[in-house]
Structure 1
Amino acid sequence: MWNCTSIITLPDSIGLLSRLQLLDFKGCRNLQKLPSTIGQLTQLEKLRVQECESLESLPDSIPTLPRLQHLFIDTCTSMSKVPETMGLMTGLTRFSTDLETEWHAVAVGQQHGLKDLLVRKCSDEGITWLDRNSSLAHLHHLSYFSFRDCPAMSKLPYTIGLLTNLDWLCLRRCQNLRELPNSIGQLKLLTKLGLTRCSSLETLPDCLGALTSLEELWIAQCRSLTKLPESIGHLSRLETLRIEGCGELQPLPESLRQLSGLMWLQILDCGSLEGLGVLRVLQGLRIWGCTSVINLSGSCLIVLDRKRWDPSWYRYDDGNQFLSVRGDLTEMRVVEANDCGSLRLVQDAESGRSILQRVHKVDCCQLITL
């Protein structure tokens, strides 16, 4: 019952729905109370009360639900506590909550069986309580940790390094986050790291190179980011590197040449490819071509290794057509395209070499070959 803003209460008879597995009241902004009879829903697996701004608390019977696996209580701005017996919810594997105050941090630390944790509206106070209580030390099974829509958060918990089984860390719209803690280098099993719209993030720590299991790194719309650490070259298992909308980024570190496992490199709207030193760095990478041959807006580069996909074709942006290229091509230099041009693969008439050529669509574009 999404966005049913007229609902204030629920009937006690809801406890008679003995086979109910999903109960979803997202966006019921005037819902004030859940009946205690919800504790009778022995088959309930998912309970969602996100954006229920008038909901003051959860009934004490919630922790007795034997099959509850997913609980979503974020953006419940009137809620000031959770049941004291939350620690009894040993089957809970996915939890979504705000992280503004002490009780939020305590609730997180009680869920020892969590695999997925999504927190919103984090404050530095909530982060401090999380560290002070060593709440993360108990989350031995946590695999996915996401911070979303946290404009008041300027730091991550330094105890994040205690999440020794963490596989994926996602930071999205954390506008005042200025740095990542050095303890992040302790996440030896981390395979995915995503940083999106963290507009105050200026640098990444040198300990980034200690993430020896990292396979995918996404950095998007981090407009204050000025450089990547040289230690990025130590990420021997990195397969995907995507950087988008980081206009202040300085020349890429020479250590990128050491990324022998890199299969996908994407640089989009980060200023001049020449200024970033892309061509200089790419000389040490195994590349076979550019996948954005149809529409390259801004300074854009996407390259793939032949291990990822068959290099004998590209897919067009519309997904319906293909462009054939030489299947034996192992290296290709890249040129910069602007908003009014695109790139295509051609055969040089004099040398016989395969080259990328800018195709001019309007008068302002000039033909450039490399």
Structure 2
Amino acid sequence: NLKKMDLSRSVHLKELPDLSNATNLERLELGDCMALVELPTSIGNLHKLENLVMSNCISLEVIPTHINLASLEQITMTGCSRLKTFPDFSTNIERLLLRGTSVEEVPASIRHWSRLSDFCINDNGSLKSLTHFPERVELLTLSYTDIETIPDCIKGFHGLKSLDVAGCRKLTSLPELPMSLG
């Protein structure tokens, strides 16, 4: 019946235990797990997981691919500076926050994340372009990234309420923006 697991400040934790039997887990917090290099494939068995929080996992490099966490609604990854990729977790994600990572691109499947309303990637010099995001997004933060352009398709995002591109030193132009921002 374990619903929440908080392993924060387990600074010497190198690997997570097998999570296959933690099928009722709804929230997993991994803050300051500085020695953690990868998440186990058994994370894919957490079908009730709604919230995944990873902060300052400075050694984290690998998140397994081909995991479908159907209940996952929020992902927060901050200060995971070695993380270069992240998988297609779930199409039910509502909030995605990537701050201080080395993520180079978002998965193309993100355009099908129809519930994603808050999409934030900031403090990430590895992100050069962003070609995919869902039309339903309301809050789009791309601040302090190295993106050069924003796709023209943004003008069709009629629900967009906020666009933050502060500190994008390589951004050369903005496309026509949706009326919802005005």
Name the structure 1 match of 2:5: 23
Aligned residue type for 2:132: T
CA gap of 1:50–1:187, structure 2 versus 1, over 3 A, is farther
Residue 132 of structure 2: aligned partner: 159
Describe the SS at the equivalent of 1:188: coil
| Structure 1 residue ranges without an equivalent (≥5) | 1-17, 215-234, 236-370
SS at match of 2:41: coil
Q: CA deviation at 1:53?
A: 2.3
Q: How does the TM-score come out when normalised to structure 1?
A: 0.42
Q: Tell me how far apart the structure 1 counterparts of residues 66 and 108 of structure 2 sit (CA, whole Å).
A: 19
1:176 Cα deviation from its structure 2 partner: 4.1
**Structure 2 partner of 1:361:** none
Q: Where do residues 150-229 of structure 1 align in structure 2 (5 Å cutoff)?
A: 150-153=124-127, 155-160=128-133, 163-172=134-143, 174=144, 176-196=146-166, 198=167, 200=169, 205-208=174-177, 211-214=178-181
Number of aligned residue pairs = 179
Amino acid at match of 2:30: V
Q: CA deviation at 1:29?
A: 2.7
Please name the residue that 2:123 is paired with: 149
Alignment check: 8 A CA contact 2:122 2:142 kept = yes
Secondary structure in structure 1 of the residue aligned to 2:154: helix
Partner residue in 2 for 1:72? 53
Residue 126 (structure 1) aligned with residue 107 (structure 2): no
Greater Rg over alpha carbons, structure:
1
User: d(CA) in 2 for partners of 1:144 and 1:75?
Assistant: 21
Alpha-carbon deviation of 1:47?
0.5
Question: How far apart, CA to CA, are the structure 2 residues paired with 1:78 and 1:112?
Answer: 27
CA 1:94 to 1:80, structure 2 compared with 1: closer, same or farther past 3 Å? same
Residue 33 of structure 2 corresponds to 52
Give distance in 1, aligned partners of 2:59 and 2:175. 41
Q: Structure 1, residues 199-240: CA drift from partner, whole Å, max 9, x if none?
A: 6266651412xx1223xxxxxxxxxxxxxxxxxxxx2xxxxx
C-alpha distance 100-56 of structure 1, shift in aligned 2 (>3 A): closer
Note the C-alpha offset of 1:82: 2.6
SS at match of 1:86: coil
What is the alpha-carbon distance in structure 2 between the residues aligned to residue 50 and residue 204 of structure 1? 37
Partner letter of residue 140 of structure 1?
S
Structure 1 position 40 matched with structure 2 position 21 = yes
The answer as to whether partners of 2:130 and 2:150 remain within 8 angstroms in 1 is: no
Q: Is the 8 A contact 2:147 2:171 kept in 1?
A: no
Match of 1:95 among 52, 62, 75: 75
TM-score (normalised: structure 2): 0.79
Report how far residue 100 of structure 1 moved: 4.8
Question: Following the alignment from structure 1 to structure 2, what is the Cα–Cα distance between the partners of residues 152 and 62?
Answer: 26
Judge conservation of contact 1:74–1:120 (CA < 8 Å) in 2.
no
Task: Tell me if 1:113 matches 2:92.
Answer: yes
Residue by residue, what CA displacement relative to the aligned partner does 1:285-330 show, whole Å, maximum 9, x if unpaired? xxxxxxxxxxxxxxxxxxxxxxxxxxxxxxxxxxxxxxxxxxxxxx
Q: Which amino acid aligns with 1:63?
A: G
The one of the two structures with greater contact order (alpha-carbon pairs below 8 A, sep at least 6) is 2
Q: Would the alpha carbon gap of residues 202 and 62 (structure 1) be closer, same or farther in structure 2, given more than 3 Å must change?
A: closer
SS class of match (1:56): coil
Task: Say whether the 8 Å CA contact 2:104–2:126 is kept in structure 1.
Answer: no
Q: Secondary structure at the match of 1:126?
A: coil
User: How far apart, CA to CA, are the structure 1 residues paired with 2:37 and 2:58?
Assistant: 8
Q: SS of the residue aligned with 1:73? A: strand
Shift of 1:76: 2.8
Against the structure 1 CA distance between its residues 147 and 42, is the aligned structure 2 distance closer, same or farther, given a 3 Å change threshold?
same
Alpha-carbon contact 1:159-1:183 (below 8 Å) kept: no
- State how far apart, in whole Å, the 2-side matches of 1:39 and 1:76 are: 22
Aligned to 2:109: 135
Structure ranking higher in helix proportion: 1
Give the letter aligned to residue 182 of structure 1.
D
CA distance 1:146–1:30, change in 2 (3 Å)? same
Deviation at 1:185, TM superposition (A): 2.2
Amino acid at match of 1:33: E
- Give, in whole Å, the separation in 1 of the partners of 2:28 and 2:8: 10
Q: Is the 8 A contact 1:158 1:183 kept in 2?
A: no
